[in-house]
Amino acid sequence: MARPQTIDGKIDIKSLSLSELTELLVEQGHPKFRARQVYKWVWNKGVTSFHDMTNVSKTARKQLDEAFVIDFLEPAMQLDSADGTKKFVWELRDESHIESVLIPDPGIPGHSKPRMTLCMSSQVGCAMACSFCLTGDLGFKRNLRVAEILNQALQVQQSLPEGERITNLVFMGMGEPLHNITNLIRSLEVLLDESALNFSHRKITVSTVGLVPQMARLAAATPVNLAVSLNATTNESRSQVMPITRRYPLSQLMDGCRDFPLPHAKRITFEYVMMAGFNDSWDDAARLVKLMSGVKSKVNLIPYNENPQREILRPSEDHVKAFQHFLVKRGVQTSIRTTRGIDISAACGQLGKATQGMRIEEAGIEGPTISLD
């Protein structure tokens, strides 16, 4: 078992899988059944205190409280979009902030089912410095701990009216998920656990800028969906907007995608942010068709969400549709992402704007010590 993550000397219980919790509790003299009992209180009931575990003896609750901590996120702000999208800004124990976005989709009768998608963050800031993304302006602060990742799903679910449930999770928020791959994989284990948050691997998507070795590690650990942020069709142009290309060239990235193991029904999603005059020419479209050759893929076109902090322009709606038609006509499965939450800076590439604008007063009190091991 890996060394547990701790807060102020206590084990962060939300960083543990059920098997790890069982092992620790048995070592401490608890009966084996206690682990599942406690695990369900933490993940199914969402309790924030061991004293709320009413079917656990008072003696056991006291012992648990002495050894473990139940971590949670502090809500700092919630912004509601006119289109129903909600952005949650969370304050962490070290007074850092992250953002999560809940996107409801009523679906189309006879075509698609209603969905409730949560876009989750994996880091405070981001080290990838993609030029079109505001999160990169924050720089990289730190990786999120397992509990900080998981609490986004747990606490947003708790905020929903009775009977409503998050149906899909996408790791497309602040940060590069595969840059925090150890904590990501541990989080996915809890998300997929029937005794915990119980999501299907078909309903979870991890997005990456193209950390090729970590893509292979993700595939070996879990069967969740993969999305690759592509955004250009030549190595030179991709390097201009995505510095990671200098480390993992486009050819190496596409080879990694071709080698990525996929079940029969799954495809890799290639996210393609369309920026007027940069990557939306017909030559780009033709090269994109070639790039998709030999890859079980679908392309998601994302018209750039303009903002005053960038000079990048959004292509016209007609041009985006024509670009899609070009790809589809040549056998490339292609969709256009509907822009959601733009009025609250919750759209693709805008996360971090609320975080940048927050001013946290210094309390003059030493915060808790947090181990990231």
The residues carrying an active-site annotation are: 99, 348
Q: Report whether 269 contacts 205 (CB < 8 A).
A: yes
How far apart (Å, rounded) are the C-alpha atoms in residues 131 and 229?
13
Return the sign of the alpha-carbon dihedral for residues 45, 196, 178, 240: negative
The structure tokens 């901590």 sit at 69
Q: Which two tokens stand for residue 262?
A: 């996929």
Q: Which of 148, 157, 156, 86 is nearest to 121 (CA)?
A: 148
> What secondary structure does DSSP assign to 186-198, as a single string?
HHHHHHH-TTTT-
Residues 38 and 21: beta-carbon distance below 8 Å: yes
Place of tokens 């990671």: 244
φ, ψ for residue 303, nearest 5 deg: -60, 130
Neighbours of 262 (CB within 10 A): 16
Give the chain's end-to-end CA distance (angstroms, integer). 12
